[in-house]
Structure 1
Amino acid sequence: MRIHILGSAAGGGFPQWNCNCRQCDGVRRGTLRAKPRTQSAIFVAPDGGADGVLFNASPDLLQQIKANPVLQPARGVRDTAIAAVMLVDGQVDHATGLLMLRERALPLPLWCTDPVAEDLTQGLPLLRVLGHFCGVERHVVEPDGRAFTIPGVAGLQFRAIALASKAAPYSPHRDAPVPGDNVGVLIEDTARGRSVFYAPGLGEITPPLFDLMCGADAVLVDGTFWTDDEMIRLGLSKKTARDIGHLPQSGPGGMLEWLDRLPARTRRLLIHVNNTNPILDEDSPERAELARRGVEVCEDGQTVEP
């Protein structure tokens, strides 16, 4: 199994188009040792197979396809390695790239939960818009941990687990969450017996979820904010990280405490990193702290093989 990191930043990317914080300004000027990043998405394919699953359709999808030739195997006049798309939530930065796939000759195979399908039919009606182009062949993802497979992607098995986070701002469940607003996905390579847990939006880690993470060979989890009050301190928001559904890395009960408790063999990676997070600065003490703890920061173009 190969996991291609197409985009590793949170919504807005890095640098964010309208942001002049120390980090966005520094990466533009070349005064900060940091790598630009597009909005988060991954592509997962089995060993020896060209076709795979696109997890989340970023607004930067066309740029990501161009930068990752694995997504365009060029076996015909029109071709794609995207056998299906799976959405972990209905957020703008994970769903609006669906419109970039509208030129398909056949309906787009889309895997998502019922609450996400509802959000993308009513609050942000992308699925209705796609009905005027290629159309959508929607498959229900049940967020209960049961195993399922996806046609055209041999050797991989998937399990979706409901997470505590936040639904999109246009969702009727924004302030009253329901199971399936957000999911994490365990991706299993059945031939090699290897697995990866993927959760770019994660507001709370429960004991059953942590048990699942302990069984994975690698975890790609929420790296949005370093501190709970990060956006407040910078004067960019009145809400904490937890208020908007993201578990910060530092502080009591933060992501790093949980990652420290994983088995030593588990590879730990942070994805969906906000432009304000100091871990993007490769010379920062926060980045050094991650290195000391054996935690990686995902980069665009990176390939992970658990």
Structure 2
Amino acid sequence: MLRIVVLGAAAGGGVPQWNCGCRVCNASRTARPELQSSQASIAISADREHWFLINASPDLRQQLTATRQLHPRAGSLRHSPIAGVVLTNGEVDAVAGLLSMREGSPFAIYAHPRVLSILKANSIFNVLSEKNVQRQPISIGEVFEPVLPNGGPSGIEILPFEVAGKRAWYLEGKTHPAGDDGEGDTLGLRISDKATGRHFYFLAACAQVTPELKQRLGGASLIFFDGTVWRDNELIAAGLGAKTGQAMGHISMSGENGAIAALTDLGIERKIFLHINNSNPALLHDSPERRAAEGAGWEIPTDGMEIAL
């Protein structure tokens, strides 16, 4: 049985964001501490002993401390149940946490060559010695099985696929280390339990729901889907930023072309938003936006939520 733990559900900066005084951040610091959330990542396991992270958020150290399933084995001086990290993009939100895993425990990084090229081009990631931390390229449309530290099978199969998005924001206007042509900057994942055949989808970033994506997700048991903003111009209207959701490579929850409308009536059993920005009013339990999302069958997760598939 596949186990999934939501390590964090928030977008970049988390909730509260360190320098933000918006109503969600202020409420989370005072009367509504339950609104607090770390930056988006999940952990998966087929045996409850070895775990793989999907993205390594800047909050990873905090997440590992808070998640008992990821603690070192009792009685061991040095041990980690984390066998690998799968990266879906090269954004700071997805890769910065790798630097919190530099203490010598062996694990593997699985990522598209375009994302691996970003790690290679930035010498700070050399603290992850490739003697202990193998970097394994993955390809769009090709299933792979991440392996355990002893080389054995994990029981998990992952199919990476391309979704609409954009390159990491810090590379805007610059030459990509892998060149400016090619796909692979933003991936979705289909994650399957080999023993049961059950699978789910993970899309932390998505700029558009295409007909091909609808067909792929139709009938899914579970999806984690990009929930960054409620409205495309949300950050601008709130005075919190100068970019739309689309400009950042994220679809809105609401609207005619938003995720809620686009993914309705597809027979998806369970739909969970992830990577939710502090500006998003759907985070507030008593907001009309939250009621609209839940009324359409969507969940807003909390850190530490565990799901058995």
Return the alpha-carbon distance in structure 1 between the equivalents of residues 294 and 62 of structure 2: 29
TM-score by length of 2: 0.91
1:282 counterpart residue number:
285
> 2:69 aligned with 1:70, yes or no?
yes
Which deviates more from structure 2 when the two are superposed, residues 58-67 or residues 210-219?
Answer: 210-219
Task: Indicate which of 198, 201, 205 corresponds to 1:201.
Answer: 205
Cα distance in 1 for residues equivalent to 2:301 and 2:219: 21
Equivalent position of 1:23 in the other structure: 24
Q: How far did residue 239 of structure 1 move?
A: 1.4
Partner of 1:231: helix, strand, or coil? helix
Superposed CA RMSD in Å reads 2.0
Q: How far, CA to CA, are the matches of 1:112 and 1:3 in structure 2?
A: 20
Measured against aligned partners, the alpha-carbon deviations of 1:79-103 in whole angstroms (never above 9, x if no partner) come to: 1111111111111111111111111
* 8 A Cα contact 2:112 2:137, kept in partner: yes
14-23 or 205-214, which deviates more:
205-214
Shift of 1:232: 0.6
The count of residues paired between Structure 1 and Structure 2 equals 299
Identity of aligned residues (%): 35
Partner of 2:133: 136
The answer to whether the 8 A contact 1:188-1:195 is kept is yes
Q: Secondary structure at the match of 2:170?
A: coil
- 1:94 is the counterpart of 2:115: no
Which of the residues 294, 298, 303 maps onto 2:301?
298
For residues 139 and 270 of structure 2, what CA distance do their matches in structure 1 show? 27
Amino acid at match of 1:142: S
2:274 to 267, 271, 274: 271
Unaligned runs of 5+ in 1: none
Structure 1 residues 254 and 149: alpha-carbon distance in aligned structure 2, compared to 1, 3 A threshold: same
Post-superposition shift, 1:34? Answer: 4.6
Give the CA deviation at 1:173.
4.6
Q: Which moved more, 1:224-233 or 1:210-219?
A: 210-219
- What code does the residue aligned with 1:304 have? I
Aligned mates of 2:181, 2:281 — CA distance in 1 = 30
Aligned to 1:116: 115
Contact 2:24–2:35 (8 Å) recurs in 1: no
CA displacement 1:188-224 (0-9 Å, x = unmatched):
1121221110011111122222211114210001010
Mapping of residues 205-244 of structure 1, within 5 Å: 205-244=209-248
| Greater than 4 Å deviation, 4+ residue runs | 173-177
Q: Please state if 1:253 is matched with 2:265.
A: no
Query: Counterparts of 2:21 and 2:95 in 1: how far apart (Å)?
Result: 26
Q: Secondary structure at the match of 2:143?
A: strand
Structure 1 residue 4: Cα displacement:
0.3
